[in-house]
Amino acid sequence: ETLGENRLDDDKIFSSLPPLFRGHPEIHLRKGIIDAAMRAGANEVDAERAFFVADLSQVYRQHERWTKNLPEIVPHYAVKCNPDPYVLRLLAALGAGFDCASNGEISQVLSIGGVDPSRIIFANPCKATSFVRSAARAGVNTMTFDNADELFKIARAHPGAKLIVRILADDSKSICRFGIKFGAPLEVVPSLLSKAKELGLDVIGVSFHVGSGCYDPTIYGDAIRRARDAFVMGSQVGYQFSLLDVGGGFEDARFEAAASVLADAINEYFPDRKGIRLIAEPGRFYVSRAFSLAANIIARRAPMVENCLEPLDPKPSSDEPSVMYYINDGVYGAFNCIMFDHQTVNPYVLSLDGSFHISPSEPLSLCSVWGPTCDSIDCVCKAVELPEALQIGDWLGFDDMGAYTICASSQFNGFKFSNVIYTTSKGGGEEVRRALCSFAAKGHGHGVC
Ligand code: PLP
């Protein structure tokens, strides 16, 4: 069931999901993709259109993992990572807070209903003045800063704001580094805090971000030590900080290790933390694995050596891709993560020559996969092992497509965004439904049940 143009009709969710998607643990997500693709055959354009499958129970399980490993730290989901309306509702229902980067994100979160503005942190240290004013009007008071001009701006536009100084952390072990753009080095923090005091502003705490996709969990220990130093600097200027925000960057595969480093460092540097609220801004941790993408092979270019009048010059070598597959989502769409989020993606075969039963012994060769636009930069995989026998109309699947994909997609060349189909196919569907239903019963979430 595809529920509209990427924006879903509330009444249709869950009640309309086919039984396949209702949490039977034996049904693999991939089968869900295949069946959905087959069902979509009603209309030729929709039938071949690429689509995401979002497994909401995976988001639920990540939340369980979070609360088990970091029970003291309230996650404020980084909306920018994937502002999917049902992910937001589920996390709202589960009691998470939200990290918003703009007034658009703030409006989206507040429009869910049931999220008090105090659950939102405006975690962009460089905001437009009009955004600061609209945050004030919306009752969103908690916001970050890392420079003096932002303080002057906030003093004018939202003097009652609760401010968090974002300090510079070591981001050298992250896929996406932020330190070049954001974060006050510890040396400038005392003067920033003095200026805030002089302006009569209320600074309540400290945040940092180790960079997105942090592959060295030990970095969190160093960041907590820096945050402790910033707390001391705050007290020297006359503030008593009450909030520590440990940011985002949590990688799925290294989450437990990062949580353990974080918890140890908090115990070491904040042994007496009564009166200090701990929060974080995880993004990719929640959604990365929850979304898969199915894309259709719309065109194919393969050498027709036997029909060539002249022998190919130079002859294709065996270490060069033999077949080029063109699919209907690319780097200007969901695969923008290759450009912006430095990702590599790994296609797998969902259907081969029209059949969804694929022999494991199917011979593979080096192929390349391209997006649908007329730009040659639109390359999804330069060289990947795939069967040469894939045909136009076959489907490729891509897992781990939930983070920084849909949110930054464009419609370049007139290609539409890929739809999202919602499932709870890996189990946990009951918990997801219960959370959303009790949220809806309180009058929030606009009838998601
Ligand atoms: N917080 C802020 C301020 C960010 O800029 C980002 C990502 O850009 C995040 C949180 C989320 O980071 P991640 O998705 O790596 O957890």
ipTM: 0.99
Specify the pLDDT at position 191: 98
Per-residue pLDDT at 173: 84
Nearest CA to ligand 1 atom 3: 123
The ligand 1 atom nearest the CA atom of 250 = 16
Which helix (H) or strand (E) segment is 255 a member of? Answer: helix 255-269
Cα–Cα distance measured from residue 13 to residue 414, given in angstroms and rounded to the nearest whole number: 28
Query: What's the pLDDT score for residue 14?
Result: 39
Say which residues have a Cβ less than 8 Å from residue 267's Cβ, sequence separation at least 6.
none
Say which residues have a Cβ less than 8 Å from residue 156's Cβ, sequence separation at least 6: 129
* CA-closest candidate to residue 38, choices 56, 20, 22, 57: 20
41: CB partners within 8 A, 6+ apart: 47
**Residue 71 burial (C-beta neighbours within 10 Å; 0-12, 13-18, 19+):** exposed
- What residue owns the CA closest to ligand 1's atom 9? 248
Using CB distances shorter than 6 Å, the residues near ligand 1 are 78, 80-81, 99, 123, 209, 212-213, 247-250, 281-285
Which ligand 1 atom lies nearest to the CA of residue 81? 14
| pLDDT recorded at residue 369 | 98
pLDDT on residue 120: 98
What pairs with residue 279 in β-bridges? 74, 245
* Tens digit of each residue's pLDDT, the chain (449 residues): 333 333 333 333 333 333 333 333 323 445 555 566 666 554 566 678 888 888 898 999 999 999 999 999 999 999 999 999 999 999 999 999 999 999 999 999 999 988 999 999 999 999 999 999 999 999 999 999 999 999 999 999 999 999 999 999 988 888 888 988 999 999 999 999 999 999 999 999 999 999 988 888 899 999 999 999 999 999 999 999 999 999 999 999 999 999 999 999 999 999 999 999 999 999 999 999 999 999 999 999 998 766 556 655 555 566 789 899 999 999 999 999 999 999 999 999 988 887 777 788 889 999 999 999 999 999 999 999 999 999 999 989 999 999 999 999 999 999 999 988 887 755 567 777 777 777 777 777 654 44
CA of 99 to the centre of ligand 1 (A): 8
pLDDT at 316: 58
Q: How far apart are CA 330 and CA 328, in angstroms?
A: 7
Q: How far apart are CA 375 and CA 388, in angstroms?
A: 24
Distance 285 CA to ligand 1 centre (A): 10
**Sequence-ordered strand ranges (E) for 210-306:** 212-214, 243-245, 277-280, 291-301
Residue 174 Cα to ligand 1 midpoint, Å, equals: 11
Domains and CATH numbers, the chain: 10-55+289-423 (2.40.37.10), 83-282 (3.20.20.10)
**Residues acting as catalytic residues:** 374
What CA–CA distance (Å, rounded) separates 292 from 311? Answer: 42
Q: What is the pTM of this model?
A: 0.89
Residue 38 CB coordination number (10 Å) = 12
Residue 281 alpha carbon, nearest atom of ligand 1: 10
**pLDDT at position 317, please?**
65
Cα–ligand 1 centroid distance for 407 (angstroms): 13
Nearest-atom index, ligand 1, CA of 403: 14
